[in-house]
Chain A
Amino acid sequence: MIWATIIMALREIRRNTLRSALTTLGIVIGVASVIAMVTLGRGATAKITQEISGMGTNLLIVAPGSDRRGPTAASATALKLDDANAIRRDVQAVAEVAPTASRGVLAVFGNKNWNTVANGSTNEYFSVRRYVLAEGELFSEAQLKGSLACVLGATVRKELFGALDPIGASIRVGSAACLVTGVLVAKGPSTFGQDQDDFIVMPLLAFQRRISGNTDVGTVFVSAKSDQLTIKAKQQIELLMRERRHIAEGQANDFMVQDMQEISSMLGRITGSLTALLGAIAGVSLLVGGIGIMNIMLVSVTERTREIGIRLSIGARGREVLLQFLIEAVTLSILGGALGVAVGLLASFLGARALNLPFAVVPEIIGVAFVFSATVGVAFGFFPARKASRMNPIEALRHE
């Protein structure tokens, strides 16, 4: 009976090909956009994860403040150079330590100027952050003791010097003149489109004296001796910092030690919720598609009143008429769902290529899309089907 009803439904759908196609269009678009959003979102997450592991899984970032929101975050005291030195001295699991202070500056060379970020740090900054020198040299011992010198990120070099040779040139950073000693190899933009090469590095002491005017260190970048030692280094740094900052037992940290896994999972949460949001918006179009199906099914029921009368007169029970129309609606929406999966996969494949993301198919979402479109069919097909099943056979037969 079910099988015969499904065949009848398919025949009815084929009989009105254009109308059926238009009916399912809403579902097709809905399912396709859900699939495309989720697939692209998953691709973005995969790329970010990949990028972060490229930054080094042994990287730790120490910064003041708390990852919990609240009044303590604003009032947390800044780190100082001594903190970095203490980490370097007391934590055995640590390989390199790069205390870093940052500020937005205007860099000027000749008639060109460029807004960028100046980082005051040490030579260890480059190895911890995995930047490689393209030309020139890092800072000399003398420069590190306080004279003004700088290494340029690839973007700054391009903007200020173009084709000219920057090594040995003098640029103005903020109000200070500064000798260019080296240029870095470009890393390229991150997944979020952030330029990872738009900055200047200068010795920390000179930076503090001439640019920031204080002895604060915003961030300490630390590399652990190995990937396996990362968690241990993190725990040791936390203990040390609690002691140095006189945090009583039971009180929360007023600083953060982030490892890359943490950052990766944080970014994962961000892209995850973005994906969910986009998916939900796409889900609304599925709902609209469902209403489209209900519309057409209602029209169809009215149009086929006489057919319903015939079926009732030859002994169809109300529930059998209901089943017929319900199966028609579900078949329509499942066909739409299948088409939507195909369109969505194609769209996300093309989108992934255009956005330079990995094409990460999520098998579950295909199942979910199917179940959802079938549910839409049942939910929005039920009302018209019930209307059909409750018809009075005499009146239905008389209907013109």
Chain B
Amino acid sequence: MTSSAPGAAPLVELRAVSRIYGKADSEVRALDAVSCTVEDGEFVAVTGASGSGKSTCLNMLGCLDVPSAGEYLFRGVNVGALTADQLALLRRNYLGFVFQGFNLLGRTSALENVELPLVYRRLGSKERRLLALQALEEVGLRDRASHTPGELSGGQQQRVAIARAMVSKPQMLLADEPTGNLDSAKKAEIMQLLVKLNQTRQLTIVMVTHEHDIAQYATRIIVFSDGRITDDRKIGR
């Protein structure tokens, strides 16, 4: 995907990125000339009021959206210049997503949900099963592999979703309010799982949250307001 050696370019680099919705008079600047860099192994919490642009930023980093102006470099590659198919391949091979609403396929077993990204990576069924079971093991749900989302609690569903995001060994995990639908005990459980992944695998995590205490699990907090970064600091855990 890139000619330079891994780690030569920063994982993520935003250069004056803007994302503008609508046209002319009614235009909305969801992101307004945002610049920042995320290095490998960081755990970034992106916070801000609703409408501050933090979700737009996450979609941008997740290659679900492209900048209206400015440049987004992923490992030195200009994402804005890629086609829809190339963006899909980038997501498939380097990115993992965790959503607030879990977004598992209904009436489909946990195992099959976790296998799904590997289907698109064209792995054989045996290898898929093996890797998916390992991922479920890692989130502590191996014994629930055959359960469907309806048969799992919210916390368990989110752990299945994390297993699905991790199973293809991405370089960056993007989490959009991963604890938004959970009670506080489950919140801590999920956050500890994310911290563990960040520490043991050196997995880069970018997480959007509006909750102050959830943000404290990160190693760096970026605050958005009106489409701009108003604060960006590293914190100790």
Chain A residues close to B by CB (< 8 Å): 1, 4, 8, 11, 15, 306-307, 309-320, 393-394, 397
Contact pick for B64, options A1, A306, A313, CB 8 Å: A313
A4→B105 contact, CB < 8 A: no
Cβ contact of B88, chosen from A309, A310, A312, A394, cutoff 8 A: A312
Q: B120 contacts which of A306, A309, A314 (Cβ < 8 Å)?
A: A314
List, in ascending order, chain B residues with CB within 8 A of A311's CB: 116, 120
The distance in angstroms between the C-alpha atoms of A310 and B99, with both chains bound, is 10
A313, B125: Cβ atoms closer than 8 Å: no
* Alpha-carbon separation in the docked complex, A4 to B129 (Å): 13
Question: In the bound complex, what is the Cα–Cα distance between A96 and B105 (angstroms)?
Answer: 84
21 example contacts (A-B, Cβ-Cβ < 8 A) are as follows A8-B119, A306-B103, A310-B105, A311-B120, A313-B62, A313-B64, A313-B91, A313-B97, A314-B91, A314-B96, A314-B168, A315-B91, A315-B95, A315-B120, A315-B121, A315-B168, A316-B92, A319-B85, A320-B120, A394-B59, A394-B65
Q: Select from chain A the residue with minimum beta-carbon distance to B86.
A: A317
Instruction: Give the nearest-CB partner of A320 in chain B.
Output: B120
Contacts A307-B105, A393-B64, A394-B64 given; indicate if A318 touches B88 (C-beta within 8 A): yes
- With an 8 Å Cβ cutoff, the count of chain B residues facing the other chain is 30
List the A side residues contacting B91 at CB < 8 Å. 313-315
Contacting residue for B85 out of A4, A310, A314, A317, CB 8 A:
A317
- CA A314 – CA B164 in complex, angstroms? 9
Closest residue of chain B to A319 (Cβ to Cβ) is: B85
Contacts of B99 in A (CB 8 A): 397
Residue B122 interfacial (CB < 8 Å) = yes
Tell whether A315 pairs with B89 under 8 Å between CB atoms, given A4-B125, A320-B120, A394-B65: yes
CB distance from B58 to the nearest CB of A (A): 10
| Interface pair A316/B120, CB less than 8 Å apart | yes
Given contacts A1-B119, A4-B125, contact A317 B65 (CB under 8 A): no
Give Cα A31–Cα B92 distance, bound, in whole angstroms: 41
Q: Please, how many angstroms separate the alpha-carbon atoms of A397 and B62 in the complex?
A: 13
- Please pick, from B95, B103, B104, the residue contacting A397 in the complex, using a CB distance under 8 A: B103
Q: Among A4, A309, A317, which residue has its beta carbon within 8 angstroms of that of B103? A: A309
Chain B residues with CB under 8 Å of A15's CB are 107
Within 8 A of A (CB), among B74-108: 84-85, 88-93, 95-97, 99, 103-105, 107-108
* Chain B residue at smallest Cβ distance from A317: B88
**A318-B84 in contact (CB<8A):** yes
Rounded to whole angstroms, the CA-CA distance of A1 and B164 in the bound complex is 18
- State whether B92 touches A314 (Cβ < 8 A): yes
Alpha-carbon gap, A160 to B62, bound state (A): 95
Tell me, rounded to whole Å, the shortest Cβ–Cβ distance linking B193 to chain A: 19
B53 lies within 8 A of chain A by Cβ: no
Residues on B with beta carbons closer than 8 Å to the beta carbon of A306? 103
Please indicate the chain B residues that have their CB under 8 angstroms from the CB of A394 in the complex.
59, 64-65
Contacts of A318 in B (CB 8 A): 84-85, 88
Tell whether, in the assembled complex, residue B64 and residue A4 are in contact, meaning their CB atoms are under 8 Å apart: no
Contact B88 A4 (CB under 8 A): no
Q: B117: CB under 8 A from chain A?
A: yes
- Tell me how far the C-beta of A327 lies from the nearest C-beta in chain B, rounded to whole angstroms: 13
**CB-defined contacts of B119 to chain A, threshold 8 Å:** 1, 4, 8
Query: B149 to chain A: closest CB distance in Å?
Result: 12
- Cβ contact within 8 Å between A314 and B65: no
Contact B117 A314 (CB under 8 A): yes
Contacts of B108 in A (CB 8 A): 11
Chain A nearest CB from B90 CB (Å) reads: 8
B88 and A1 form a contact (CB under 8 A): no
Nearest chain B CB to A21's CB is how many angstroms away?
A: 18
A30 to B29, CA, bound (A): 55
CB-based contact A317/B89 at 8 Å: yes
Interface centre among A1, A313, A394 (most CB of B within 10 A): A313
Cα A1 to Cα B123 in complex, Å, equals 9
